[in-house]
Amino acid sequence: MPEPKEPQGAIAATGAGGAMDLATSEGTSLTPGGPDGGAGPSAPARSLWSDAWRDLRRNPIFIVSGLVIVFLVIISIWPSLIASGNPLDCDLANRQKGSSPGHPFGFNEQGCDVYTRVVYGTRVSVTVGVCATLGVAILGSVLGGLAGFFGGAWDAILSRITDIFFAIPVVLGGLVLLSVVTSSTVWPVVGFMVLLGWPQLSRIARGSVITAKQNDYVQAARALGASNSRMLLRHITPNAVAPVIVVATIALGTYIALEATLSYLGVGLKPPTVSWGIDISAASQYIRNAPHMLLWPAGALAITVLAFIMLGDAVRDALDPKLR
């Protein structure tokens, strides 16, 4: 006696189920939203940082500024790679001479090779900028983040303290505070920048934390009994740190320019330290007779500051969802 045949609908359903099982076993989930509006593979969700990195890799401003900054970092660590001389090796017989074979930038008023001094001056400028930015970012982020998270009296006290520091002119404060310092190292200058620079980062971190702690995921974590430290480290900080990174990146170039300004005024770095600001200050008196003494250190300073500002602008565009 012949066995009864299955209906065609049952065969079709079985085939569809087998295809579904096969697709599932191969690790591909079928969800609506394919190219034809039907089922298609679901793409993994991207985070803010992965989206930002994807945009930065396609941004020519980020690529150019990044290459310049990498070059500056390399020569600040190993200046002997491109400059074989000694920046303190001077000969008065070469005083204010122009370009010559082996000395493309000429000599300064002491007979020192300008090219060698420009290369070795990169180390001081990059060190001051990076150390000052790290100090300002850490101190300002911690104080501002805690004030924005806890609020109340802590927030009120910190706000009044930041108002006091905002009222101090930076250059005037440097003239007063650094005029009594006799050390020729970079650390007094870095300490001064951190002392007067943290309020700006503190305000930004405070506002970012206040905005982040009002989101639903923070309220859900609080309702589930998460501690304050866990909410700060796991939920608020990753979502509030982007504005701090943007401002700190732009401020790095500003701190390099500020160091050169203070050194130019005679209260920043002091000889025998090799610094662009010191060389610009010494060359300003001979700008008519030997303009090359001023041109090359000033040009190196301008390129460095511009590179960090361009990098900060590119990072800001990548991390700001409103600009997408």
Nearest by Cα to 256 from 70, 121, 74: 121
Whole-angstrom distance, CA of residue 159 vs CA of residue 220: 29
In the chain, the amino acid numbered 51 is: D
Residue range 105-127: mean pLDDT, rounded: 93
| pLDDT tens-place string over residues 151-194 | 888 889 988 999 899 888 888 888 888 888 877 788 999 999 99
Place of tokens 């985070």: 47
Give the pLDDT band (50/70/90) at residue 321: low
Nearest by Cα to 287 from 109, 135, 20: 109
Tell me, letter by letter, the H, E, C secondary structure of 123-160. Answer: HHHHHHHHHHHHHHHHHHHHHHHHHHHHCHHHHHHHHH
- Give the DSSP per-residue string, 213-231: TTSHHHHHHHHTT--HHHI
Enter the DSSP assignment of 233.
Answer: I
Task: Estimate the crossing angle of helix 187-212 against helix 242-265, to 10 degrees.
Answer: 160
Nearest by Cα to 137 from 255, 303, 304: 255
CB 64 within 8 A of CB 308: no
CATH no. for 48-323: 1.10.3720.10
Distance of CA 300 to CAs 134, 203, 255, 294, Å?
A: 23, 32, 15, 10
Nearest by Cα to 126 from 186, 171, 183, 181: 186
In the chain, the amino acid numbered 314 is: A
Q: What is the pLDDT of residue 48?
A: 66
Average pLDDT, the chain: 82
Enter the DSSP assignment of 113.
Answer: B
Residue range 89-94: mean pLDDT, rounded: 90
Listed by start position, the domains of the chain span 8-41, 48-323
Taking the mean position of all CA atoms in its chain, how far away is CA 40?
Answer: 40
Range in 48-57, 95-104, 181-190 the model is least confident about: 48-57
Cβ within 8 Å of residue 282, ≥6 positions away: 108, 109, 293
| 3-state secondary structure at position 205 | helix
Distance of CA 136 to CAs 6, 58, 196, 251, Å?
A: 76, 30, 9, 10
Whole-angstrom distance, CA of residue 276 vs CA of residue 295: 11
pTM assigned to the model? 0.79
Residue 22 has pLDDT above 70, yes or no: no
The β-bridge partners of 31 are 40
107 vs 237, more confident: 107
Q: What is the pLDDT of residue 44?
A: 58
* Percentage of the chain modeled with pLDDT above 90: 40
Whole-angstrom distance, CA of residue 31 vs CA of residue 90: 74
Q: What is the pLDDT of residue 276?
A: 94
The β-bridge partners of 112 are 90
CB atoms within 10 A of CB 109: 16
What is the distance between the terminal CA atoms of the chain, rounded to a whole angstrom? 71
